[in-house]
Structure 1
Amino acid sequence: MSQFWYAMLVGLVAAERLTELIVAKRNLAWSLARGGRETGFGHYPFMVVLHTGLLVGCVLEVWFGDRAFTAALGWPMLALVVASQALRWWCIRTLGRQWNTRIVVVPGLARVTGGPYRLVPHPNYVAVVVEGFALPLVHGAWLTAVVFTVVNAGLLMVRIRAENQALRSAYA
């Protein structure tokens, strides 16, 4: 029975991700209409596949790997999943129209330095990292947690480098 509820949780996270994509598409159109330029798009398809793989891997590993729910690990990991969602939406609200799943800089707009951005340079990626290990571990999918975390670390090195370069060129 816990496998069903876990699949529902992953489904809710997937629905949240689809909502993000709707917001991102709207913000992309807004940004491009104001002269925004997208950079670093070469890694974007890989990022989509990786994040989709996280969700699929969570469910498959729990169902076919016979992973059990362990309360001592599962409940704290669920709290981290909820916290990562809250942080992600704090980032989205803080950046407003400038938030996107793609790297887009609109000339002439001030760099956002409030909200979570006053604390850490890339708080949305903190949310991604936490969610990436916590969501699988809610139900003991340790293999998915490890694989996603390792592969995502490499992706984030590329992504953050591209984003920092875009920000430097826009706000130099």
Structure 2
Amino acid sequence: MDTASTPKLAFTTIVSTLAYLGLAIQGSGGFPAFFSHPALTVVAIATLVMAGVGLVSAANLSAGEREDRGNRWVLAAFGIIGLLSAWLPAYTDRKGFWVFDGDTVRWGGVVLYIAGGVLRLWPVFVLGRRFSGLVAIQPGHTFVTSGLYGVIRHPSYLGMLVLSLGWALAFRSGVGVLLVVLTIAPLIARINAEEALLRSQFSGEYDAYCARTYRLIPGLF
């Protein structure tokens, strides 16, 4: 199996990662201010490591054999919220606006950020070429029902939420937490679109899988 991202996705990953960190550094008041916090230094390193790991995956932006193009608006929503999340938590941290007190919150955010990043990336390698940035059925598409997928159907999206919450808390930012909440609506729309497409492709087999698993959080959702 090919284990390298497509050039388009690799370019997007590199640019978006550098832009994300750049906005956070600018919001913090520059390099000295940002890296004066050991917790944020760890976050920056973890961000670069996660981006590097993602580059050697087989994730892609392919529309495959069949795509739900009506769901592409979600990518724009994620992009807008992502840009705000990159800059606003750092800025409010610097200004002391609506922040949680203490380095314990920062380091707790670091732990969540790294744990969420692992959970976000792990399914990328499990799914390989089936993992697309678009809601699409890929050639030879099958769905995984073992491991973590035997409990929850969208572990990567759960990782995305945990990672985003960790980022907000690393900056002690209440505004950042609010942005995580705003992410939930487009995320649910994305999940609904994916499940509808998979249900149309695999019919009763996918219905049976859904009946014995949770979408995101075991016992809750």
- For structure 1, list consecutive stretches of 5 or more residues without a partner in the other structure: none
Deviation at 1:127, TM superposition (A): 0.8
Between structure 1 and structure 2, the one with the greater Rg is 2
Task: Please give the per-residue CA displacement for 1:35-80, whole angstroms capped at 9, x wherever unaligned.
Answer: 2434421221111221232122222222233657623222222111
1:129 and 2:161 correspond: yes
Q: Could you tell me which residue of structure 2 aligns to residue 157 of structure 1? A: 188
Counterparts of 2:40 and 2:111 in 1: how far apart (Å)?
17
Q: Could you tell me which residue of structure 2 aligns to residue 109 of structure 1? A: 141
Counterparts of 2:94 and 2:184 in 1: how far apart (Å)?
26
Q: How does 1:83-122 map to 2 (within 5 A)?
A: 83-122=115-154
Counterparts of 2:56 and 2:197 in 1: how far apart (Å)?
21
Counterparts of 2:61 and 2:34 in 1: how far apart (Å)?
37
**TM-score (normalizing by structure 2):** 0.63
User: Is the 8 Å Cα contact of residues 116 and 162 (structure 2) preserved in structure 1?
Assistant: yes
Counterparts of 2:141 and 2:199 in 1: how far apart (Å)?
13
| % identical equivalent positions | 21
Counterparts of 1:156 and 1:48 in 2: how far apart (Å)?
12
User: Is the 8 Å Cα contact of residues 21 and 101 (structure 1) preserved in structure 2?
Assistant: no
Q: Could you tell me which residue of structure 2 aligns to residue 41 of structure 1? A: 72
Q: Which amino acid aligns with 2:60?
A: N
User: Is the 8 Å Cα contact of residues 69 and 138 (structure 1) preserved in structure 2?
Assistant: no
Deviation at 1:110, TM superposition (A): 1.4
Specify whether residues 93 and 115 from structure 1 end up closer, same or farther in structure 2 by C-alpha distance, changes over 3 A only: farther
Instruction: Point out the more displaced range, 127-136 or 102-111.
Output: 102-111
The higher relative CO (CA closer than 8 Å, separation ≥ 6) is in 1
Q: How many pairs does the alignment contain?
A: 168
Counterparts of 1:25 and 1:97 in 2: how far apart (Å)?
5
Q: Which amino acid aligns with 1:91?
A: P
Q: Could you tell me which residue of structure 2 aligns to residue 60 of structure 1? A: 91
User: Is the 8 Å Cα contact of residues 3 and 62 (structure 1) preserved in structure 2?
Assistant: no
Say which of 28, 39, 50 aligns to 2:61. Answer: 28
**TM-score (normalizing by structure 1):** 0.78
1:72 and 2:86 correspond: no
Deviation at 1:16, TM superposition (A): 6.1
Instruction: Point out the more displaced range, 109-118 or 152-161.
Output: 109-118
Instruction: Point out the more displaced range, 6-15 or 82-91.
Output: 6-15
Q: How large is the RMSD of aligned CA atoms in angstroms? A: 3.0
Deviation at 1:101, TM superposition (A): 2.5
Deviation at 1:157, TM superposition (A): 2.0
Secondary structure, counterpart of 1:56 in structure 2:
helix
Bigger helix fraction: 1
Say which of 191, 194, 201 aligns to 1:170. Answer: 201
Counterparts of 2:156 and 2:125 in 1: how far apart (Å)?
11
Instruction: Point out the more displaced range, 18-27 or 100-109.
Output: 18-27
